[in-house]
Amino acid sequence: MPPQGVTLRPQLDSDLEFVAALYAATREEELRPVEWSDDVKAAFLRSQFDAQWAHYSRHYHDAQFSIIERDGSRIGRLYVWRGPDDVRIVDIAISTEARGVGIGGALLREVIEEAARNGRSASIHVERDNRALNLYRRLGFEPIDEHGVYYLMKWSPSLDARAHPKTAS
């Protein structure tokens, strides 16, 4: 269950500027050493966001695109696609000021619980140097494939049972 005051709502067209700015914020550290002007960085990040959104819209058109809110203010996004055997976390991003208080972990646990209830696995692509990699591992995701700079990580009931065996009482 997410922390108190945290809710999900459908993403609207009016949220696209917010999610574009959120995307840019998630890439800020990566671009810090690049010797481009702020305007060039902003244009590059916007083009990257536009390409990402086009990809998500084309390949996950029937996904649930949600805005994460805390006390009515937008703080992130969670995109989830539900396939017949797998629940794909297409994207999760939380604003810098809202990180580190358990919101992302709680939302991911909800996705895992949904997958478990429906006999499905859960999966996510994650960059190899993403700080959230440790969180995904703690939640029971394991790398099962590599695609360029990304791991495909998967949680499944059988993997979870090995990682978190039940102790006999």
Mean pLDDT for the stretch of residues 20-24: 96
Mean pLDDT for the stretch of residues 3-29: 94
103 near 93, Cβ under 8 Å? no
Task: Look at residue 160 in the predicted model and tell me its pLDDT.
Answer: 54
pLDDT bracket for residue 24 (50, 70, 90): very high
Task: Report domain extents, the chain.
Answer: 6-11+62-163
Count CB neighbours of 153 within 10 A: 21
Task: Look at residue 13 in the predicted model and tell me its pLDDT.
Answer: 95
Q: What does the pLDDT look like over 116-141, one tens digit per residue?
A: 999 999 999 999 888 899 999 999 99
User: Domain 6-11+62-163 class?
Assistant: alpha beta
- Mean pLDDT, the chain, rounded, equals 91
Task: Look at residue 131 in the predicted model and tell me its pLDDT.
Answer: 86
For residue 79, give the 3-state DSSP assignment: strand
75 near 95, Cβ under 8 Å? yes
Say yes or no to pLDDT of 166 above 50. no
Maximum distance among all Cα pairs of the chain, rounded to whole angstroms: 62
Question: In the chain, at which residue ranges do the beta strands (DSSP E only) sit?
Answer: 6-10, 64-70, 73-82, 86-94, 121-127, 142-147, 150-155
Task: Look at residue 167 in the predicted model and tell me its pLDDT.
Answer: 41
Mean pLDDT for the stretch of residues 77-89: 97
